[in-house]
């Protein structure tokens, strides 16, 4: 639960939702409680109606007879409906509550989608940054330019603007905020932030740094694509086995069955 609350904090901050994370977390807990109660009540009602359990539980007291008659009337009403309607009666409440629970998790799913988009666009951001570095643009200025390319790199642009916003809100330098972001960044986005931080902290030849970053990115992409190609090759081989070789093997095994062979020979003799 603490990890989920942290995810709500990140979603509220990085996606600029305008909603306090604890409000989102309370909605999730409410939806979770409602879903559990609805599923439990629906399951109990289904067991009482669809099984003769109530006949063994309810005693021959006035209250027991009343409950038994009530369950019996419900059972007759439900059994009078067509089977699809009977299924919908028991499935609709749990499905509705589950959809509400899923809806409360949408900020977390949006955050995961945002992170995925940042990683995908980071490769192109590195390529563009290398071009700007060749033109002699300073590192932090390159970072600001990436925030202006919302029509090309929408996720990266949103992340850059959010970092610049945090720098103003926390009254910290942009470089300090970048250091904080670098701790949680991953993959190519981390490489880009690390290069900018190193150049601003220690100095050095900007063209050399970004050229090395470009080569590292291309090399890692090549390795990733080779691994993906191997995986796809394995999946294609497995697919061929299951869709081509396995049915033929089963067919051969069936035709070699003595029972089928004897039936085939008997048909030949009769003809």
E strand or H helix at 115, and its extent?
helix 106-134
Please write down the long-range contacts of 175-182, taking CB distance under 8 Å and 24 or more positions apart: 175/140, 175/200, 175/201, 178/143
Which pLDDT belongs to residue 182?
86
pLDDT in tens, 61-85: 666 667 666 767 777 777 777 777 7
Confidence of residue 39 (pLDDT cuts 50, 70, 90): confident
pLDDT band at 53 (very low <50, low <70, confident <90, very high): low
Give yes or no for residue 254 having a pLDDT over 80: no
CA distances from 22 to 7, 8, 59, 197 (A): 11, 8, 48, 33
DSSP calls for 61-109: SHHHHHHHHHHHHHHHHHHTS-HHHHHHHHHHHHHHHHHHHHHHTHHHH
d(CA 5, CA 30): 14
Look at residue 115 and tell me whether its pLDDT is greater than 80: yes
Q: How high is the pLDDT of residue 230?
A: 79
pLDDT reading at 265 higher than 60: no
pLDDT at 128 over 80: yes
Q: Work out the pLDDT band at 251, boundaries 50, 70, 90.
A: low
* Residue 192 CB burial class (10 angstroms; 0-12, 13-18, ≥19): buried
pLDDT confidence band for 59 (50 / 70 / 90): low
Percent of the chain whose predicted confidence (pLDDT) is above 90: 0
By mean pLDDT, which of 106-115, 179-188, 195-204, 234-243 is the weakest?
234-243
pLDDT recorded at residue 263: 58
Tell me which residue of 126, 119, 122 sits closest to 214, measured CA to CA: 126
| pTM value > 0.85 | no
Residue 38 has pLDDT above 70, yes or no: yes
Report the distance separating Cα 134 and Cα 262, nearest Å: 81
30 CA to centre of own chain: 22
pLDDT band at 260 (very low <50, low <70, confident <90, very high): low
Per-residue pLDDT band for 253 (boundaries 50, 70, 90) equals low
154-188 pLDDT, tens digit each: 888 888 888 888 888 888 888 888 888 888 888 88
Between residues 76 and 212, the one the model is more confident about: 212
């Amino acid at each position: 639960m603490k990890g989920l609350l942290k995810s709500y904090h990140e979603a509220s901050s990085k996606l600029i939702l305008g909603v306090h994370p604890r409000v989102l977390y309370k909605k999730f807990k409410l939806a979770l409680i409602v879903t559990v109660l609805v599923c439990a009540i629906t399951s109990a009602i289904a067991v009482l109606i669809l099984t003769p359990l109530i006949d063994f539980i309810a005693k021959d007291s006035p209250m027991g007879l009343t409950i038994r008659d009530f369950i019996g009337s419900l059972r007759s009403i439900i059994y009078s409906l067509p089977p699809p309607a009977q299924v919908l009666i028991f499935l609709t409440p749990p499905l509705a509550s589950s959809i509400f629970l899923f809806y409360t998790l949408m900020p977390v799913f949006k955050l995961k989608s945002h992170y995925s988009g940042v990683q995908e666009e980071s490769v192109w951001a590195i390529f563009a940054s290398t071009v700007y570095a060749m033109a002699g643009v300073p590192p932090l200025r390159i970072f600001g330019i990436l925030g202006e390319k919302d029509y090309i790199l929408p996720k990266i642009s949103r992340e850059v603007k959010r970092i610049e916003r945090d720098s103003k809100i926390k009254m910290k330098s942009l470089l300090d905020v970048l250091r904080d972001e670098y701790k949680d960044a991953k993959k190519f986005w981390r490489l880009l932030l690390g290069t900018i931080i190193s150049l601003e902290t220690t100095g050095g030849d900007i063209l050399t740094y970004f050229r090395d970053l470009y080569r590292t990115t291309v090399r890692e992409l090549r390795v990733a694509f080779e691994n993906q190609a191997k995986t796809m090759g394995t999946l294609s081989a497995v697919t061929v086995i299951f869709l081509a070789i396995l049915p033929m093997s089963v067919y051969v095994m069936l035709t070699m069955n003595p029972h089928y062979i004897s039936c085939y020979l008997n048909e030949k003799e009769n003809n």
